[in-house]
Chain A
Amino acid sequence: QQQVKQSPQSLIVQKGGIPIINCAYENTAFDYFPWYQQFPGKGPALLIAIRPDVSEKKEGRFTISFNKSAKQFSLHIMDSQPGDSATYFCAAVAAGNKLTFGGGTRVLVKP
Chain B
Amino acid sequence: GAVVSQHPSRVICKSGTSVKIECRSLDFQATTMFWYRQFPKQSLMLMATSNEGSKATYEQGVEKDKFLINHASLTLSTLTVTSAHPEDSSFYICSALWSKETQYFGPGTRLLVL
* A interface with B by C-beta (< 8 Å): 32, 34, 36, 41-46, 49, 89, 93, 97-99, 101-104, 106
Beyond the given A45-B1, A93-B101, could you list 5 further A-B residue pairs with CB under 8 A, ordered by the A residue number?
A44-B44, A46-B102, A99-B44, A103-B42, A106-B41
Question: B46 contacts A45, CB within 8 Å?
Answer: no
Question: A104 contacts B42, CB within 8 Å?
Answer: yes
Return chain A residues, CB-CB under 8 Å to B1.
Answer: 45-46
Distance from B62 Cβ to chain A, minimum over Cβ atoms (Å): 13
B interface majority secondary structure: strand
Most buried by B among A43, A98, A101, A104: A43
**A97-B100, A98-B49 in contact; A43/B108 too (CB < 8 A)?**
yes
Question: A43 contacts B46, CB within 8 Å?
Answer: no
Question: A46 contacts B104, CB within 8 Å?
Answer: yes
Instruction: Name the one of A32, A45, A103, A106 contacting B105, with C-beta atoms under 8 angstroms.
Output: A45
A interface majority secondary structure: strand
The answer for the CA separation of A106 and B94 in the assembled complex, in Å, is 22
Question: A103 contacts B108, CB within 8 Å?
Answer: no
B: interface residue count bin: 20 to 34
**A98-B46, A101-B44 in contact; A43/B102 too (CB < 8 A)?**
no
Chain A, Cβ-Cβ closest to B4: A43
What sequence of 0s and 1s flags, for each residue 42-57 of chain B, a beta carbon within 8 Å of any chain A beta carbon?
A: 1110100100000000
Which residues of chain B (30-50) have a CB below 8 Å from chain A?
32, 34, 41-44, 46, 49
Which residues of chain B (83-98) have a CB below 8 Å from chain A?
91, 93, 95, 97
B8 at the interface (CB under 8 A from A): no
The answer for the CA separation of A55 and B41 in the assembled complex, in Å, is 30
Question: B43 contacts A102, CB within 8 Å?
Answer: yes
Q: Can you give 5 contacting A-B residue pairs, CB < 8 Å?
A: A41-B91, A43-B6, A43-B108, A44-B105, A97-B103
Distance from B73 Cβ to chain A, minimum over Cβ atoms (Å): 19
B110 at the interface (CB under 8 A from A): yes
Question: B32 contacts A97, CB within 8 Å?
Answer: yes
The answer for the CA separation of A36 and B108 in the assembled complex, in Å, is 14
